[in-house]
Amino acid sequence: MFEQRPRLKGNKLAAYNHINKNERRILVIGDLHAPFELDGYFDFCKQTYANYNCNQVIFIGDIIDNHYSSFHSTDPDGMGGSDELGHAIEDIQKWSREFPVADVLIGNHDRIIMRKAFDSAIPKVWIKSYNDVLGTNWNWTERIVYDNVQYVHGEGGTARTKAKNDMMSTVQGHIHTQAYVEWMVGRNFKVFGMQVGCGVNGSSYAAAYAKNFKKQAIGCGVILGGHTAINCLMEL
């Protein structure tokens, strides 16, 4: 059987061959903070996955906001816990149907309930898993490595700092107002730090704490084979 290839030449053919190599092409989805996700972000991520012929998905963390149970002030006029969680589960199910296989980095908002249970001396055996609560079948983890690139949520600082400190290419989220790729090049090696944008609705009451911050960077990322890092920003 003959392999079907498009009639391309020059740089276009080189680009086609590159993106169709047998390597990981990872879509990195930014902080969602469901149910306070920005309209259109889901479709943007789906299109980015298709544009780069991705074959793997990583959620960079803070899938769910848990505003009603925050350690900080909560909006007294906002949704109660049951309603907020119900809407969040609906949103996350949409992502799960589109990307049934994925790695999820556990973010600080994701673990709010776990932390409160721990502080209340509730044994782990009483606590449901993220998959059980949200109806997903994802791999939830604190850190994961593919192609010598580490993926973390990012509570410990910026991506560039993490990459320098660990001397390892690093992809992270957490900081909603930044989206960049920065390479650090030495005599014998090079690493990059990639700060991925987010998908949070900045006008939601859950994001009111950041109303005087810099504008949020709405976007996702793509990592090709561990050697190429691309930030994709959504047009607003």
pLDDT at 3 over 60: no
- Which residues are within 8 A (CB) of 146 and not within 5 positions of it... i.e. 6 or more apart? 24, 26, 56, 223, 226
* Residue 3 covered by a domain: no
Which pair of tokens denotes residue 108?
Answer: 């600080």
Collect all residues with Cβ–Cβ distance below 8 Å to 48 and sequence separation of at least 6. 27, 54, 220, 222, 232
| Both structure tokens of 156 | 């410990």
Is 146 inside a domain boundary?
no
When pLDDT is averaged across residues 85-99 and rounded to a whole number, the result is 97
Q: What local confidence, expressed as pLDDT, does residue 10 receive?
A: 73
Average pLDDT over residues 44-73: 93
Please check whether residue 35 lies inside any domain of the structure: yes
Query: Is 80 exceeded by the pLDDT of residue 187?
Result: yes
What's the pLDDT at 130?
95
184 is a domain residue: no
How many folded domains does the chain comprise?
1
For the stretch 145-185, pLDDT in tens is: 999 999 999 998 999 999 999 999 999 999 999 999 999 99
Rounded to the nearest 10°, the torsion over CA 95, 100, 104, 107 is 30
Instruction: Tell me the pLDDT band of 1, cut-offs 50, 70 and 90.
Output: very low
Residue type, 184: M
Question: For residue 42, is it within any domain?
Answer: yes
CATH of the domain at 91: 3.60.21
Q: Which domain holds residue 63?
A: 24-141+197-233
Contact 202, 187 (CB under 8 A): no
Where in the chain does DSSP place strands (E)? Answer: 25-29, 56-59, 103-105, 139-141, 143-146, 149-152, 169-172, 180-185, 190-195, 219-224, 228-233
In a domain, 149, yes or no: no
State the chain's mean pLDDT as an integer.
91
